Chain A
């Protein structure tokens, strides 16, 4: 009796596995796309997520060191975002973040990689050095689009060639670039606040 049970259960198991496999083959393009999107995209904004950003930049660092090519990370932090959450609630805050992501996608170039690190922090990876005027232009468009919320952003830039790669591995270089860009963003934020006063 037990042998019969085992054989039937194993047969059903194999049938189900085959059925699922057939379904997978028939739909693999869609499933792959969905799975890939889930793995690399930020679920709220549809921008790339932190994991993808880190993996991408590590590869870029390897390539940059090998081919002696530079690239930049722009670290962006929104100004005056917290009051939106406090005054209008998190649903409104999420809605604004989605619109911010949309605007970044439209204003940066198609081949720039834009990612949301979390909260109201974003990064843009540019495969050469950024034009400061271009970022200022983006900021102008941004401030106009979100003037009802008095929303703006501060940014800081770090380049691969600024860091000393000799004793560091790719992950350490990435961390150092992020720290540099973050610090410059913070300095810019403080400077802008001083000027506004």
Chain B
């Protein structure tokens, strides 16, 4: 499989696509699939129409992302991964336009259960904070083990006219409340999850929670009060300061760090996160320096290299909060992946990462992690 990643920063989406097409035509006679990562500044309405008009294909999928990886570079614009298979490799596109529709969950779980031997890359929108809950339910409906063939991320975007632009684009459609899955057939692959945040102190037990909101811990203590203390010494506190210390939710059976949750908002009596919080769960506070996060990135890159020696390409889903914590070293994450794997890199900074848990029993929505996929055509 030949994969190359190209980018454009042109102000107009039309001219950005034109520039990308010129770059692609110079390198490829033909190709099988295009994956577009598009900054939300380009809006959404005409995007699928323009993609199909300029590239004359419907073998594509696109999504919003504020920052995208074009190999070792981080780009705010339009980035496209061009895929051309040389052997038996294939991509199939599956999508759900509205996760609130009654049959969406069943349709998706049937699809994944049917094609349990293939690699699935899933990219969805925030869906009014419901996509994480959908992933949790989807995980419960998967009837196979090990679940180590699904990876993905939630599009990152910004709010415009009361709309959170974290949309997807396929088949001349704008998906506003759903997701798409790219299913790769006849490929070898490996998925790794980098956490990097070290847990501190004694475990908290979640006493009251609802959806993405955490109310009380232990013997009924208001968690919002505890967290407000963290910001009390700042003149102009910013919720992002708390991205240095996400909570580490522990696995109920084995006690390992099952997932991280990033702070989204502090209310008077609640703290909201970028993912589901369940009553009865246990967690610890955590902290990481940029160096510690990069160390973990290097570890998963080497691990991947030992499994897929010469990948054709790699995709990285890294959390936007992790990007914040990485500070001026954020470029080093894609640099590590490209240099260790020595292959093209595509991916983006997400609003949540989707991947397997440690024992491959469940599919999880992660926060503040970096997920790495390496693929090689069989």
Query: Which A residues form the contact surface with B (CB < 8 A)?
Result: 2, 5-6, 8-10, 12-17, 20-21, 24
Task: Name the A residues within 8 Å of B201 (CB-CB).
Answer: 13, 16-17, 20-21
Task: Name the B residues within 8 Å of A14 (CB-CB).
Answer: 200
Task: Name the A residues within 8 Å of B244 (CB-CB).
Answer: 5-6, 9-10
Whose C-beta in chain A lies nearest to the C-beta of B285? A13
User: B242: CB under 8 A from chain A?
Assistant: yes
Give a binary string over B240-283; 1 marks a CB under 8 Å from any A CB, 0 the rest.
Answer: 01101100000000000000000000000000000000000000
User: B145: CB under 8 A from chain A?
Assistant: no
Task: Name the B residues within 8 Å of A21 (CB-CB).
Answer: 201-202
| Interface Cβ pair total, 8 Å cutoff | 46
Cα of A9 to Cα of B226 in the assembled complex, Å: 12
Cα of A16 to Cα of B241 in the assembled complex, Å: 16
Which of B43-51, B54-62, B229-237 lies at the interface with chain A? B229-237
Q: If the complex has contacts A2-B327, A20-B201, are A8 and B233 also in contact, measured as CB distance less than 8 A?
A: yes
Task: Name the A residues within 8 Å of B204 (CB-CB).
Answer: 20
Q: If the complex has contacts A8-B233, A9-B230, A12-B229, are A17 and B202 also in contact, measured as CB distance less than 8 A?
A: yes
User: B31: CB under 8 A from chain A?
Assistant: no
Task: Name the B residues within 8 Å of A6 (CB-CB).
Answer: 244, 289
Q: Give the distance to chain A from B221, nearest Cβ to Cβ, in Å.
A: 10
Task: Please tell me if the beta carbons of B202 and A9 are within 8 angstroms of each other in the complex.
Answer: no
Task: Name the A residues within 8 Å of B134 (CB-CB).
Answer: none
Given contacts A9-B287, A13-B285, A17-B285, could you give 7 more A-B pairs where the C-beta distance is less than 8 Å? A8-B234, A9-B245, A13-B200, A13-B201, A16-B229, A16-B230, A20-B202
Interface residues of B in 189-248 (CB under 8 A from A): 200-202, 204, 226, 229-234, 241-242, 244-245
11 contacts between A and B (CB under 8 A): A2-B327, A5-B234, A5-B244, A6-B244, A6-B289, A9-B242, A10-B244, A13-B201, A13-B230, A16-B226, A17-B202
Q: Give the distance to chain A from B201, nearest Cβ to Cβ, in Å.
A: 3
Cβ contact of B200, chosen from A5, A8, A17, cutoff 8 A: A17
Task: Name the B residues within 8 Å of A20 (CB-CB).
Answer: 201-202, 204
Q: If the complex has contacts A2-B327, A8-B233, A20-B201, are A13 and B287 also in contact, measured as CB distance less than 8 A?
A: yes
